[in-house]
Structure 1
Amino acid sequence: MTGLYYEDFEIGHIFSHKTGRTVYDYDNVLFSTLTMNPQPLHLDEEYSSRAEFGKPLMNSLFTLGLAIGLTVNDTTLGTTVGNLGFDKVEFPKPVFAGDTIYVETEVLNKRESKSRPKEGLVFLEHRARNQHEEIVMCCQRVALMRKKHN
């Protein structure tokens, strides 16, 4: 496993995740239909052509999930107990099919769990950018992480 344990996270450290992912129309259609989201801004080319951006928008929850997923190998693979919450989720720029998403993660804070002595809380901020270096998603997350030594 490549994930980090609670003790490995350093406040202020910024991870620049190397893996990026280009998003496609089929990602948008599949995610939107799997999650029962019939929003025509995601699924209807004709409708979207007359809307503000002139083409379908990627589902913002897909963008959020993708951004978090791109961080897993460097941070939480096999060492997380679970996500405790997300805060300040923002989508300042739209994402379209053909965009490539890259993510960086900053460790904002951490503390030992008061109720689970074998685990600790790590407070992270994820920032997703497109190929033009524009921030397309930003969020804060609390992850419950395993400790190395119990």
Structure 2
Amino acid sequence: MAGRWFEQFVEGEVIVHDTRRTVTETDNVLFTTLSMNPAAIHLDHDYSSRTEFGKPLMNSVFTLGLVVGLTIADTTLGTTVGNLGFEEVKYPRPVFAGDTIHSETTILAKRESKSRPTQGIVTFLHRGLNQRDEVVCECRRLALMMKAPA
């Protein structure tokens, strides 16, 4: 099992994830069109060239998914029952095609489930950083996690 069982998470622990990914224009166009988001700021180079950014922005929902996805192998792969929610999603800096994103996770809290004795709830703070170590995305995620088999 690549992920951790509920008991293996330690409040306050910071996990630095090794996997990094450079985002591309193709990622942005595919995700934006597949998710039916017609915003010119993601798809139109001419329009985007006249914005304060000067070029298309990566779709923020793609960025969120990537930031969380980069954490899965070290945290919840094969040991999660499911996500319970995302809270306080923030994007302090823009992401552009060509940026390389990496993630880190802080374990904010954990508690045993009141209704499921073989499971517990972990609150993660995920941060996505670019190649300059600037935070580009941050969110809290609550996950229902399996306890280790008896």
Q: TM bucket by the smaller chain?
A: over 0.9
Q: Tell me the alpha carbon deviations over residues 94-120 of structure 1, each in whole angstroms, 9 at most, x when there is no partner.
A: 000000001000000000011111110
User: For residue 32 of structure 2, what is the amino acid of its counterpart?
Assistant: S
Query: Aligned to 2:133, what secondary structure does the other structure show?
Result: coil
RMSD over aligned CA atoms reads 0.7
Matched residue, 2:10: 10
Deviation at 1:27, TM superposition (A): 0.2
Aligned residues: 150
Q: Does 1:70 align with 2:73?
A: no
Matched residue, 1:132: 132
Residue ranges of structure 1 left out of the alignment (5+ in a row): none
Matched residue, 1:122: 122
TM-score of the superposition, structure 2-length normalised?
0.98
Q: How does 1:74-113 map to 2 (within 5 A)?
A: 74-113=74-113
Q: Aligned equivalents of 1:76 and 1:66: distance in 2? A: 15
Matched residue, 1:50: 50
Deviation at 1:51, TM superposition (A): 1.0
Residue ranges of structure 2 left out of the alignment (5+ in a row): none
Q: Tell me the alpha carbon deviations over residues 40-77 of structure 1, each in whole angstroms, 9 at most, x when there is no partner.
A: 00001111011110000000000000000000110000
User: For residue 24 of structure 2, what is the amino acid of its counterpart?
Assistant: Y
TM-score of the superposition, structure 1-length normalised?
0.98
Matched residue, 2:33: 33
Q: Structure 1 residue runs of 4+, over 2 Å off? A: none
